[in-house]
Amino acid sequence: MRLTKMSHACVRLEKDGRTLVIDPGGFSERDAASGADAILVTHEHADHFDEGRLRAALESRPGAEIWTLKSVAEQIAAAFPGRVHTVGHGDTFTAAGFDVQVHGELHAVIHPDIPRITNVGYLVDGGRVFHPGDALTVPEVPVETLMLPVMAPWNKISEVIDYVREVGPQRTYDVHDALLTDLARPIYDRQLGTLGGAEHLRLTPGASAEV
């Protein structure tokens, strides 16, 4: 499987000539979802869900489909009958040849005064890749590659380190990193790499790796 990191929370997975895109939001490239056979969206926040990008992707590729939670599906399903699928915790499905399991229900707490919204994570191909969205969800199965949300208004580095330890993946790749400056990256790289207990890796936007 080929993993390509796009800006912020978006990743593209390619296998057997087909492409699965996760969270092509407003902080990612305008063509982040271009050419996708299937798109997964973890939640409704603009840095993960951009309606314009999704509409463009579906209009340019008639066979493309979306899997997402209810709050996102309601905003786009009417325009694309039969192509937008609503999922929740515990669901399993196949998208563009990838086997996907849904884990999690709620977005992490930003502040007690801010109501929590729904959020799901996607476990791809039995644990080859896990993208948790905006939550520190721990799947009940082994994870090889964890897409790790390193910088957000809802987390701190000690929580991120403990999250890696609890999931116990073979490796992590940074996501949710648009808020992290280049000046601070070496601090995160060192602490996550030293304390997390897993190989800590980072891809610049547009770069790829085999996982």
In a domain, 52, yes or no: yes
CATH number, domain with residue 15: 3.60.15.10
What predicted TM-score, i.e. pTM, was given to this entire model? 0.97
Question: In this predicted structure, what is the pLDDT of residue 27?
Answer: 97
Domain containing residue 135: 2-204
Q: Taking residues 77-103, report their average pLDDT.
A: 97
In a domain, 210, yes or no: no
Question: In this predicted structure, what is the pLDDT of residue 156?
Answer: 96
Q: Number of folded domains in the chain?
A: 1
Distance of CA 8 to the CA centre of its chain: 10
In a domain, 26, yes or no: yes
φ, ψ dihedrals at 123, nearest 5°: -100, 120
In a domain, 55, yes or no: yes
In a domain, 9, yes or no: yes
Q: Taking residues 33-47, report their average pLDDT.
A: 97
Exposed e or buried b per residue across 44-83, where buried means at least 16 C-beta atoms within 10 angstroms of its C-beta = bbebbbbeebbebbbeebeebbbbbbeebbeebbeebeee
Query: How far apart are alpha carbons 209 and 64 in whole angstroms?
Result: 24
In a domain, 19, yes or no: yes
Question: In this predicted structure, what is the pLDDT of residue 71?
Answer: 97
Q: Taking residues 141-146, report their average pLDDT.
A: 97
Compute the mean pLDDT over every residue in the chain, rounded to the nearest whole number: 97
Question: In this predicted structure, what is the pLDDT of residue 168?
Answer: 98
- pLDDT band of residue 42 (cuts 50, 70, 90) is very high
In a domain, 211, yes or no: no
Q: Taking residues 21-37, report their average pLDDT.
A: 97
